[in-house]
């Protein structure tokens, strides 16, 4: 386990120098500090990288305009039809809405939320994340009857298929925007839309989620260990929020019915991300600024870059691994003073160090479901590979941040 360490490289002034000047062959193979001169350089570098990762205003404006137009249209249409999705609502999720999206606003996650009352969750394996859903009595929501399978289980496949059918028909009716529906990836909870933009494409993941206002299942009991970071009260408040279930197939299902649902904590993740300080005023205009989100963005970027370079070897890794490690790090280093804006380098190194230990131990517990390990031992080779790549980058001043692909 990591101890919070104080201090760090002598804090220099703000990294005002903006655009990352490529670190032209500085201290090859050197360690973090070497003399007073070297200590002054890294802050400028990571701040420079970060400034390149921030989303441009014009891009955001254009992208959000298109996405909102398309999503509003779809929700109207879905509600209007008698397809069983009458009371659907919208919830922005994922990195764009958590304000940690990097590089371009080209990926959006939208949850379409269906309120449901009184549902029974039955674990379908030992992860504690996947469930079969049945109704204790006839659902109050009669229209859900059409999505029950022969065992009386609520069928994720039937619901997702029905929703996709509506969406496929309806995207044709959206004026002035070119939208296509991607072929569904097996087992993925998302229906992916592609919106043609002037230059590039925006992908919008539409995720059907059931919202159930009932206590969280047993597997989450020891998760969300945020007491030392956000406090007991906040934990209790968060656990009073509803649970969400997304239509996600469990590949390890014993009898393949395809009708499994997976817990989703997107709403809680978003709440924590947007209220991430141990002190309430963290990052507010009159409060102290921290570098938590910056560290998260940097590791996301590092993984993205490495995945571009080693697609095959790193296919098992996704940004959720990074996000999960991030939340654990927030618990390990719970104080805002552990993440001072001026100490970005040091904080990022600590964060990376924790992530490396996870890889080495093949141990990254789901933040809300501790028994669910996101780094299976079967993927030990991948973990070792990623661990070596990150170590190399760490020891060489992150050359990959400067490389183009």
Q: Which residues bind DNA (CB under 7 A)?
A: 54-58, 60-61, 64-65, 67-68, 76, 79, 86-87, 92, 97, 99-100, 270, 274, 283-285, 293
Residue 268 or 358 with smaller CB distance to DNA: 268
Residue 57 or 183 with smaller CB distance to DNA: 57
Residue 90 or 310 with smaller CB distance to DNA: 90
**Is the distance from CB of 397 to CB of 45 less than 8 angstroms?**
yes
Least separation, in Å, of the C-beta of 257 and DNA? 31
**Is the distance from CB of 214 to CB of 243 less than 8 angstroms?**
yes
Least separation, in Å, of the C-beta of 188 and DNA? 22
Among 385, 379, 403, 327, CA closest to 100: 327
The dihedral built from the CA positions of residue 243, 244, 245 and 250, taken in this order, carries a sign that is negative
Residue 267 or 321 with smaller CB distance to DNA: 267
The answer for residues whose C-beta is within 8 angstroms of residue 316's C-beta and 6 or more apart is 379, 382
Using the 8-state DSSP alphabet, how is residue 2 labeled? P
Among 221, 254, 257, 256, CA closest to 239: 221
DSSP letters, 198-246, are SSSEEEEEEEEEEEE-SPPPGGGTT----TTTT-HHHHHHHHTSPEEEE
Least separation, in Å, of the C-beta of 26 and DNA? 26
Residue 4 or 56 with smaller CB distance to DNA: 56
Least separation, in Å, of the C-beta of 222 and DNA? 26
Determine whether 31 is exposed, middle or buried from the number of CB atoms within 10 Å of its CB (0-12, 13-18, 19+): exposed
Least separation, in Å, of the C-beta of 47 and DNA? 12
The answer for residues whose C-beta is within 8 angstroms of residue 393's C-beta and 6 or more apart is 302, 306, 399, 400
Determine whether 150 is exposed, middle or buried from the number of CB atoms within 10 Å of its CB (0-12, 13-18, 19+): exposed
Least separation, in Å, of the C-beta of 404 and DNA? 20
Least separation, in Å, of the C-beta of 89 and DNA? 7
Q: At what angle do helices 232-239 and 266-274 cross, to 10 degrees?
A: 150
Residue 31 or 117 with smaller CB distance to DNA: 117
Residue 45 or 293 with smaller CB distance to DNA: 293
């Amino acid at each position: 386990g990591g101890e919070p360490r104080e201090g760090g490289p002598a804090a220099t002034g703000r990294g005002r120098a903006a655009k990352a000047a490529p670190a032209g062959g500085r201290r090859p193979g050197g360690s973090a500090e070497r003399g007073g001169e070297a200590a002054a350089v890294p802050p400028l570098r990571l701040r420079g990288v970060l400034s390149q990762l921030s989303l441009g205003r014009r891009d955001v404006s254009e992208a959000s305009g298109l996405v909102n137009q398309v999503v509003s249209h779809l929700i109207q249409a879905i509600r209007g039809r008698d397809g069983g999705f009458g009371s659907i609502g919208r919830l922005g999720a994922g990195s764009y809405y958590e304000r940690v999206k990097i590089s371009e606003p080209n990926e959006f996650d939208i949850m379409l939320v269906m309120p449901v009352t009184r549902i029974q969750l039955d674990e379908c394996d030992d992860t504690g994340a996947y469930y079969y859903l049945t109704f204790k009595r006839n659902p109050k929501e009669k229209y859900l009857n059409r999505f029950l399978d022969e065992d009386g289980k609520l069928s994720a496949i039937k619901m997702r298929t029905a929703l996709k059918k509506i969406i496929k028909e309806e995207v044709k009716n959206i004026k002035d925007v070119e939208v296509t529906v991607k072929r569904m990836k097996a087992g993925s909870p998302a229906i992916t839309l592609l919106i043609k933009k002037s230059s590039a494409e925006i992908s919008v993941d539409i995720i059907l989620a059931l919202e159930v206002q009932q206590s969280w299942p047993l597997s989450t009991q020891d998760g969300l260990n945020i007491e030392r970071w956000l406090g007991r009260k906040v934990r209790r408040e968060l656990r009073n929020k509803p649970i969400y279930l997304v239509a996600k197939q469990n590949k390890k299902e014993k009898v393949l019915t395809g009708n499994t649902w997976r817990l989703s904590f997107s709403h809680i993740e978003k709440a924590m991300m947007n209220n991430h300080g141990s002190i309430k005023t963290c990052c507010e205009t009159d409060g102290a600024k921290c570098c938590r989100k910056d560290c998260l963005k940097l590791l996301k970027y590092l993984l993205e870059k490495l995945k571009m370079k080693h697609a095959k070897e790193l296919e098992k890794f996704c940004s959720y691994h990074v996000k999960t490690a991030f939340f654990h790090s927030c618990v390990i280093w719970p104080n805002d003073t552990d993440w001072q804006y001026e100490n970005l380098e040091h904080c990022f190194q600590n964060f990376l160090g924790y992530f490396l230990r996870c890889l080495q131990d093949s141990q990254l517990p789901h933040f809300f479901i501790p028994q669910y390990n996101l780094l299976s031992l079967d993927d030990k080779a991948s973990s070792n590979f990623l661990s070596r790549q990150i170590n190399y980058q760490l020891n060489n001043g992150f050359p990959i941040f400067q490389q183009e692909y």
